[in-house]
Amino acid sequence: MTDVVITRPGLLTTVQDLGRHGWASLAVPRSGAADQPSLRLANRLVGNDENRAGLEATLLGVDVRFTGDRWIAVTGAPSPVFVGDRPVAQYAPVFVGAGSVLRVGAATSGARVYMGVAGGVDVAPVLGSRSTDIMSGLGPDPLQAGSALPLGPPQRGPAAVDVAPAPAIPAHATIRLLPGPRDDWFATSPYGLVYTVTGESNRVGVRLDGPVLQRTRLDELPSEAMTAGSVQVPPSGLPVVLLADYPTTGGYPVAGVVHPDDFWLVAQARPGMRLTFAPARRPLR
């Protein structure tokens, strides 16, 4: 059996697929890759189905060793990638021989990098997903040095495309919002305001610093259903955008919900990145 062994886990490296679906009524969030387009692409590049589990590394990258030959692809935040001391392309299928170490360095922009491996990471699924959920504790623990993960049998050969286009991750992103269920609870609109991502952000939510959203209603709000991309406003008035490991219910009013096509940009928001909210002018597809 071929394994991938973590030799340097970086800041936070977890196993992720496309998440757990259909369990919100039991308070189980979706989880899964925060930037799902990047994981989907990494899987396609190595010949996997899009839902195969891969690795998600945060900000500082990750180093891994393979006990057998594998095709891999690294997508997501732009990062230097090496097999041993040899630089290799990101957003492209790369062959890694048995015993070789793949090194992914710190992201130069964005926050999260994804590693797809032919056959996928084959840990035991929990509630239909192999994803790590840092809030509930479901799925495998965050990875440590020495963690060994089994790999499934390759499904197909690598994609015919040599290099896929990498989406730009701007230092100042415009994020489209759909109206929230409590957008009438605020004296000011979030549209056009500039916020800065703080270092307190994680897979549960992206915390923002900037203009305070003043409430017009100060009464208590019973806990209600949340979804990924909800822009919650706690008593501080500073928005929090819920990410993949979001709580399924919450008692803070939601001023808006990130358009699904822009969710990946929020997932790639690193501390210091600026976000401006804008109204979504086109309907959902």
Give the residue-averaged pLDDT of 66-80. 97
Q: Is the pLDDT of residue 190 over 90?
A: yes
% of the chain beyond a pLDDT of 90: 82
For the chain, how many residues are written?
285
Q: Model confidence at 197, in pLDDT bands (50, 70, 90)?
A: very high
Dump strand ranges (E) for 27-133.
54-58, 62-66, 70-76, 81-83, 86-87, 94-96, 101-104, 112-117
Q: Give the pLDDT score at 165.
A: 80
Q: What's the pLDDT score for residue 283? A: 53
Q: Are 43 and 50 in contact (CB under 8 A)?
A: yes
Average pLDDT, the chain: 94
Which range of 175-184, 235-244, 245-254 scores highest in mean pLDDT? It is 235-244
Q: How far apart are CA 209 and CA 37, in angstroms?
A: 27
Nearest residue to 82 via CA among 11, 169, 12, 7: 7
pLDDT tens profile 211-239: 999 999 888 888 888 899 999 999 999 99
Q: Round to whole Å and give the CA distance between 30 and 187.
A: 32
Residues 151/117, Cβ–Cβ less than 8 Å: yes
With CA atoms as reference, report the closest residue to 258 among 195, 182, 180.
Answer: 180
Residue pLDDT, tens place only, 105-155: 999 999 999 999 999 999 999 999 999 999 889 999 999 999 999 999 998
Tokens 């270092």 locate to: 199
At 269 the pLDDT is 97
